[in-house]
A and B are shown apart, each in its own frame.
Chain A
Amino acid sequence: MTSVHSRVVINMQGVDKLFGDFKALDSVSLQVHEGEKMVICGPSGSGKSTLIRSINGLEDIQAGEVSIAQVEVDGSRDARIGMVFQQFNLFPHLTVMQNLTLGPMRVSKLSRLDAEARARACLERVQIPEQADKLPRQLSGGQQQRVAIARSLCMEPDIILFDEPTSALDPEMINEVLEVMVGLADSGITMICVTHEMGFAKRVADTMVFMDGGKIVEQSPPEKFFNAPESLRCQQFLAKILHH
C-alpha cells in the first residue's frame, strides 16, 4: 500500500450525468492523486460505472467538469487512461497478439516488431505469454480478462480504470485476474477499480469510495471504511456483502 500522494491527476467537480430524467451522477466531485489506488463500491445503479466512464469520456456529462492532469514523460502530455471492462470487449476477430498490437501500431506508430515485443512483455505481466496466437474465444474468461488488461497496458497508461473486471467471471477465475491487478497496483500505476471484491480492496486500496443514488456517500482510507464507516447506508451495504 502506498502512502499519501502528491499531485491530483483526475479532478472531477460537480459532475452531473443524466439518462433522460434519471440522475446517474448527482453533483459528484472527486480527486484522484498520482499513484493512488481507489476502489469504488456501492449497490447496483448507484452510478459507479457511470462515474469512471465519465473520466475517460465514454459518458458525456451534463454539468460540471472532469480534468486530467498533464504528466511529464519525455515532455509534457495529457495523462493516458486505460480501461478494462466487465465484458472484456476484446476484438473477437483478431488474435491475442493482434488485439495487443493494434493500438501501439496505429496510435503510437510503433513498428510491428516493436509492438510485438511490447505485447509479449505485457502478456508476461499478466502471466499468459503462451496464448499470443489464439483467438479470444479460445481462451477462458479469466484469460480473456487478462488479455484485456495486457491490451490496455500496451498503451502504457498513466491511469487505469477497471469497471467490475471480475463480475462476468466464473468464481474459480476471479483470483487469477485479481492477482494480476494486485501486481499492477504494486507497480505504482494510478488505479480506479469499481469492484465488490472486498478482499482485493483491503489489500490494495488507499482510498475507498462508497456511492449510492449517484452521490459519493463515503470516502475514506480502508481502515476507517471497513471498521468505522460513518454513513448508515454504507454500514448496511458492507454488512450485506461482508457477512455471508
Chain B
Amino acid sequence: MKRLILLLVSLPLLSSCSDQWGWYVVDPTTKTGLTNLKFLLSGLEQTVLMSFTAIAISMVVGLAVALPGMSSSKGWRRFNRVYVEVVRAVPILVLILWVYYGLPQLMGISIGVFGAGVLALALSDSAFQAEIFRAGIQSVNRGQYEAARTLSLNYVDTMRFVILPQAIKRILPALGNQFVYMLKMSSLVSVIGMQELTRKANELVVTEYRPLEIYTILVLEYLVLILAVSGVFRWFESRMQSDER
C-alpha cells in the first residue's frame, strides 16, 4: 500500500522534469481536468458490475461442470472434458465477438452489450473454475467420503456439508487468482462498446490526444481495484486458516 502511494505521488513529480507528460488533462484542480477524471472513473461501476456478475455465474457453472468430471460414469466425465477443453481453447476476445455478433444471428435474439459481455466472460471463466473446483474436491481425503457414506449421507449432503467446505478452503488462493484475472479480462469487453473503464479511457484519448496520462490513470484504476480484491481474498484466507487442522 505504501508503495502504491509513493507511485501515485511520484507520477506528477515525473511530469515536472519531463516535457513528455501533460497531467493537465486529468488535473482535478481545473474544470476540464476534473470532468475528464470523473469521466474515466464513471466506467468503474460497469467494470465491477459486469465482472462480479460474470464471476458469480461462472463459479456456479464451474461447479456444475466440475462435479460430472468426478463421476463414475464415463459419459459424464467425457462431458466435463469436452466442455473444459473446448471453452478453454477459445480466446476471451474471440468469444466476446462471437457472443455479441454471432449469437444474435444464430438465435435470432439480441442480448445487448452488457448481456453479451457477462455471458462471454462467464462462459470463458467457467472452464477454469471447473478445473479449480475439480482439483479442490479431489484433494479432499477419500476417508471423508467414506465417513459420509457410512453415515448414509446422500451425494448432495456429502458435497454440501463435508466435501465442499474443505475444498473451498483449499482453493481460495486459486479462486482469488482467477477473480483478479477476470477483472482484467473484462477490459476486452470494451471492443463491443461496453462503457467500462477501458472504453472510457479510449474515448477520452480520442478527444484529448493524451494517451500517456489517460492510460496511466487507467492502469492505476485497475491496480487499485485489484489490490482491493486481493486484500479481501487474503482476509478470507487468514480467517479460514484459523480453523485449519
User: Which A residues are closer than 8 A to B by beta carbons?
Assistant: 56-58, 80-83, 85, 87, 89-94, 102-103, 106-107, 135-137, 148, 151-152, 155
Q: Does B157 contact A (CB under 8 A)?
A: yes
Across the interface, do A85 and B157 meet the contact criterion of CB distance under 8 Å? no
Interface size on B, residues (CB 8 A): 19
- In the complex, the answer to whether B153 meets A102 with C-beta atoms within 8 Å is yes
Whether the Cβ atoms of B166 and A93 lie closer than 8 Å is yes
The proximity string for B residues 150-166 relative to A, scoring 1 for CB distances below 8 Å and 0 otherwise, is 11111001000110011
Measured between alpha carbons, how far is A81 from B150 in the docked complex, in Å?
A: 7
Query: Which listed residue (A91, A106, A151, A152) contacts B144, Cβ 8 A?
Result: A91
Q: Bound state CA distance, A92 and B243, in angstroms? A: 9
Q: For the complex, is B147 an interface residue (Cβ under 8 Å from A)?
A: yes
In addition to A83-B150, A92-B166, 17 A-B residue pairs with Cβ atoms within 8 Å of each other are A56-B150, A58-B150, A81-B150, A82-B150, A85-B143, A89-B143, A91-B161, A92-B245, A102-B151, A102-B162, A103-B152, A103-B153, A107-B151, A107-B153, A107-B154, A152-B150, A152-B151
Closest chain A CB from B25 CB (angstroms)? 53
Residue in B closest to A160 when the chains form the complex, CB atoms: B150
Q: List 24 A-B contacts (CB under 8 A).
A: A58-B150, A80-B152, A83-B146, A85-B147, A89-B141, A89-B144, A89-B146, A89-B147, A91-B166, A92-B166, A92-B245, A93-B165, A93-B166, A103-B152, A106-B153, A106-B154, A106-B157, A106-B161, A107-B152, A136-B245, A151-B147, A152-B150, A152-B151, A155-B152
Question: Does B81 touch A at the CB level, under 8 Å?
Answer: no
Which of B149, B162, B169 has a CB less than 8 Å from the CB of A58?
B149
